């Protein structure tokens, strides 16, 4: 997928591009179908349990009568989620500023065969609403986004700069909350995302939701395990916790497309902020190289996240999985000066706080700077003392 300006852009920058490419069109249709297939797929899962339950001895069934009622409630939650999904995919043919709606028209007669992995992505998108746009996600955002926002405010103090002159890029923006928070503070901020699951949902939140907590989802309804109480599975979460509308003067945009393909202009950005992103690469070195190139001399890269290499062990996917130590060598090798570094940063990702299973990352946080003076980038020859001297643990 190539660059397309999409959501939340008060002054859309039209990029010459189209959705006419057949592959792209099929991909678009596939994601819409995945959202459409959410309800039958999810209900099928409950029905399987129900029919097994009905096959159990009568006295077992009697003992499980509350559980049977609970499954009714699960079905109600799925129906409700489906109503939100219908809103998310309504008018998606129009979300790209630079794509003729007719070429992205959703063809209801075309129903590509549903892919199971896509259903997990639909469920993950619903959980991402909690992380980015709910009160329940506040703690997670405080741990993941706040250190990045604080560093931006430190690097580009509002009282000493014209924030709209500071250009900040957030690749792998998910549902856009980090980019939104940066733009809200007056900086010119662009989020970039290549997943249509995320783009459809962020378009809904950023461009269609106006009133605080006006919608609700049941994000944990697909978690059949590790529930202490039935209501932990069927708990509703309201969104958005804040109104996503920003004043017209705010410079906030989202682009759709692969970060590596969209951002080809060298020395452009004052800051690149990555959160839970660099491990999404087949080749993480290519991500780091691109970040280095697109930053202005003197520009900063702020990163926070783990190294859950997304392509690792996936069939038909290539992947390298360097440790953080090795990544650090790469960063310094390109010529970055490491200014701050912290390990063991406790972070979570779309976590159900009530679950008996809790997952926590000891993330790494760092801030590094592209030197003001140009470094010959042919071999990115690295002076060992560079960076290490600057490091602040
Ligand atoms: C783990 S999520 C993190 C989302 C968000 N930053 C957060 O912290 O909640 C990583 C995101 O990066 C996106 N992504 C991965 N590779 C990308 C690429 N090459 N270009 C643009 N987005 C990408 C994924 O679709 C996904 O939404």
Ligand 1 centroid from CA 172, angstroms: 3
- The residue contributing the CA closest to ligand 1 atom 9 is 174
Q: Is the shortest distance between the CB of 263 and ligand 1 below 6 Å?
A: no
Ligand 1 centroid from CA 124, angstroms: 12
Domain 136-210+240-370 indexed as CATH 3.40.50.150: yes
Residue with tokens 């701050």: 340
Q: Is the shortest distance between the CB of 172 and ligand 1 below 6 Å?
A: yes
Q: Is the shortest distance between the CB of 302 and ligand 1 below 6 Å?
A: no
Q: Where are the domains of the chain?
A: 136-210+240-370
Q: In what order do the strands lie in the sheet with 188-193?
A: 4-5, 252-256, 188-193, 167-171, 269-275, 295-305, 361-369, 337-347
Task: Give the atom of ligand 1 at the shortest distance from the alpha carbon of 198.
Answer: 27
- The residue contributing the CA closest to ligand 1 atom 4 is 174
Q: Is the shortest distance between the CB of 194 and ligand 1 below 6 Å?
A: yes
CA–CA separation, 269 and 112 (whole Å):
40
Task: Give the atom of ligand 1 at the shortest distance from the alpha carbon of 287.
Answer: 19
Determine the length of the chain. 393
- Residue by residue, pLDDT tens for the chain (393 residues) are 434 454 444 333 322 234 457 888 899 999 999 999 999 999 999 999 999 999 999 999 999 999 999 999 999 999 999 999 999 999 898 888 666 555 555 555 555 567 889 999 999 999 999 999 999 999 999 999 999 999 999 999 999 999 999 999 999 999 999 999 999 999 999 999 999 999 999 999 999 999 999 999 999 999 999 999 999 999 999 999 999 988 877 799 999 999 999 999 999 999 999 999 999 999 999 999 999 999 999 999 999 999 999 999 999 999 999 999 999 999 999 999 999 999 999 999 999 999 999 999 999 999 999 999 865 543 443 343 343 333 333
Ligand 1 centroid from CA 248, angstroms: 27
Ligand 1 centroid from CA 280, angstroms: 7
């Amino acid at each position: 997928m190539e660059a397309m300006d999409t959501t939340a852009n008060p002054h859309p920058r039209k990029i010459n591009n189209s959705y006419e490419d057949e592959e792209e069109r099929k991909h678009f249709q596939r994601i819409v179908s995945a959202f459409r297939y959410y309800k039958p797929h999810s209900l099928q899962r409950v029905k399987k349990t129900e029919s097994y339950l009905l096959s159990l001895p009568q006295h077992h069934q009697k003992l499980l009568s509350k559980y049977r009622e609970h499954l009714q409630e699960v079905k109600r939650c799925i129906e409700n989620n489906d109503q939100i999904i219908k809103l998310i995919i309504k008018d998606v043919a129009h979300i790209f500023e630079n794509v003729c709606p007719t070429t992205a028209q959703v063809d209801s007669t075309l129903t590509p065969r549903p892919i199971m992995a896509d259903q997990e992505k639909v469920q993950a998108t619903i959980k991402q609403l909690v992380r980015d746009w709910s009160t329940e996600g506040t703690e997670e955002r405080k741990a993941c986004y706040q250190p990045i926002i604080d560093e931006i405010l430190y690097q580009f103090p509002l009282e000493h700069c014209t924030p709209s002159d500071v250009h900040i890029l957030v690749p792998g923006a998910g549902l856009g909350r980090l980019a939104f928070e940066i733009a809200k503070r007056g900086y010119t901020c662009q989020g970039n995302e290549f997943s249509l699951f995320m783009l459809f949902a962020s378009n809904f939140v950023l461009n269609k939701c106006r009133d605080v907590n006006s919608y609700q989802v049941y994000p944990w309804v697909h978690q059949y395990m590790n529930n202490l109480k039935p209501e932990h599975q069927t708990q509703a979460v309201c969104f958005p916790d804040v109104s996503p509308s920003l004043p017209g003067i705010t410079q906030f945009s989202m682009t759709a497309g692969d970060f590596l393909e969209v951002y080809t202009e060298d020395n452009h950005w004052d800051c690149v902020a990555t959160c839970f992103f660099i491990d999404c690469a087949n080749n993480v070195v290519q991500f780091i190289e691109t970040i280095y190139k697109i930053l202005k001399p003197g520009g900063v890269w702020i990163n926070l996240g783990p190294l859950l290499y997304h392509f690792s062990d996936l069939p038909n996917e290539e992947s390298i999985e360097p440790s953080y130590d090795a990544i650090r060598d790469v960063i310094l090798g390109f010529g970055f000066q490491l200014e701050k570094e912290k390990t063991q940063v406790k972070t979570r990702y779309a976590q159900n706080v009530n679950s008996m299973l809790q997952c926590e990352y000891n993330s790494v946080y760092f801030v590094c700077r592209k030197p003001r003076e140009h470094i010959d980038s042919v071999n990115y020859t690295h002076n060992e003392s560079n960076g290490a001297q600057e490091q602040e643990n």
